């Protein structure tokens, strides 16, 4: 697993339960990564994952989950590229879209994972897990290991068309993440604050226009889903707000930045998306 933040660690837990050995690849002084997860049934499980720096990898990698935050993909992937081969099965477990474009050797088509589960790190000794649906899909047939993994990973769904859940999550992230990050508020403020709600509607409308232009079958009307996500996670700190609070680079380029790039290519105006991209790149509050 390349990088292992919250969602990477949760995936590693399910994989471990299914009998797979998971090694985290990252530059780290510590040879083990430890985390205790608290599940909805109240059970706590501690996970100890071995960590290897890229330079310590000596074998080819047959299965790789890319779980680094999108801005770090460009730095994290090149040192391990020599260990990938034409048949490496690669799963991208990241927010947004396009972060691995141009970075993978020819012939490797990643599967995409989209999760609505969450891991919240509000407690000093453990992180709280909210278990929801995770979709896995992409090109080709359902991989042979998927059936067994589904016995250990609750609500893990195989889909041939990953685009629908991926785009739904993209639009939710495109609205909730930048607005909560720029205004330093929890997700529920998108519903409670009329000016944020207006920005949300505009970002959403632009995103729907772009997605509809890319695929006629896109149903649009994403606002209902976005507001439902904001309601369900009302007290949460979005990942982008958390990144901004700790001064880390945000995932704006893979989320709203992706929408703006598509809009440019299609000749569609996307000023609200452009505004949050610019504001987050500047690090200032949106006008």
Terminal CA-CA length for the chain: 39
Least distance from ligand KPL to the Cβ atom of residue 237, Å: 7
Per-residue tokens: 55:
């330079």
104 or 227, CB closer to ligand KPL?
227
| CB 108, min distance to ligand KPL, A | 26
Q: Which of 163, 132, 159 is nearest to 258 (CA)?
A: 163
Could you tell me which residues come within 8 angstroms of residue 55 by beta carbon, excluding any fewer than 6 positions away?
Answer: 79
* Cβ neighbourhood burial of 7 (10 Å; 0-12, 13-18, 19+): buried
Residue 273 beta carbon to ligand KPL: minimum distance, rounded to whole angstroms: 16
Residues near ligand KPL (CB under 6 A): 95, 172-173, 176-177, 187, 229, 233, 236, 238-239
Closest CB to ligand KPL among residues 79, 188: 188
Structure tokens that stand for 16 in this block:
């471990």
Nearer to ligand KPL, 37 or 84 (CB): 37
Closest distance to ligand KPL from the beta carbon of 62 (Å): 29
Region of 281 (left: φ > 0; alpha: ψ -120 to 50; beta: rest) is: alpha
Minimum CB distance to ligand KPL smaller for 166 or for 177: 177
């Amino acid at each position: 697993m390349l990088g292992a933040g919250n969602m990477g660690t949760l995936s590693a837990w399910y994989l471990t339960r299914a009998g797979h050995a998971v090694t985290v690849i990252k530059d780290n002084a510590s040879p083990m990564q430890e985390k205790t997860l608290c599940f909805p049934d109240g059970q706590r499980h501690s996970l100890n994952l071995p960590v290897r720096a890229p330079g310590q990898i000596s074998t080819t990698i047959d299965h790789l989950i890319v779980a680094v935050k999108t801005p770090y993909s460009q730095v994290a992937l090149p040192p391990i590229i020599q260990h990938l081969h034409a048949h490496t099965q690669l799963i991208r477990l990241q927010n947004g879209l396009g972060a691995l474009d141009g970075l993978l050797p020819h012939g490797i088509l990643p599967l995409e994972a989209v999760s609505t589960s969450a891991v919240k790190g509000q407690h000093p000794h453990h992180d709280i897990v909210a278990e929801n649906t995770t979709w896995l899909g992409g090109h080709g047939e359902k991989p042979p290991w998927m059936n067994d993994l589904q016995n250990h990973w609750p609500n893990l769904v195989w889909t041939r068309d990953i685009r629908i859940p991926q785009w739904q999550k993209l639009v939710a992230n495109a609205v909730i993440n930048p607005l909560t990050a720029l205004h330093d508020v929890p997700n529920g403020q998108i519903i409670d604050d009329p000016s944020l709600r207006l920005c949300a509607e505009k970002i959403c409308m632009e995103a729907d226009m772009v997605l509809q232009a890319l695929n006629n079958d896109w149903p649009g009307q994403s606002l209902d889903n976005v507001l439902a996500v904001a309601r369900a996670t009302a007290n949460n700190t979005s990942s982008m707000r958390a990144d901004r609070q700790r001064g880390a680079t945000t995932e704006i380029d893979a989320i709203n930045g992706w929408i703006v790039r598509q809009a440019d290519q299609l000749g569609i105006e996307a000023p609200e998306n452009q505004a949050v991209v610019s504001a987050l790149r500047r690090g200032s509050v949106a006008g």
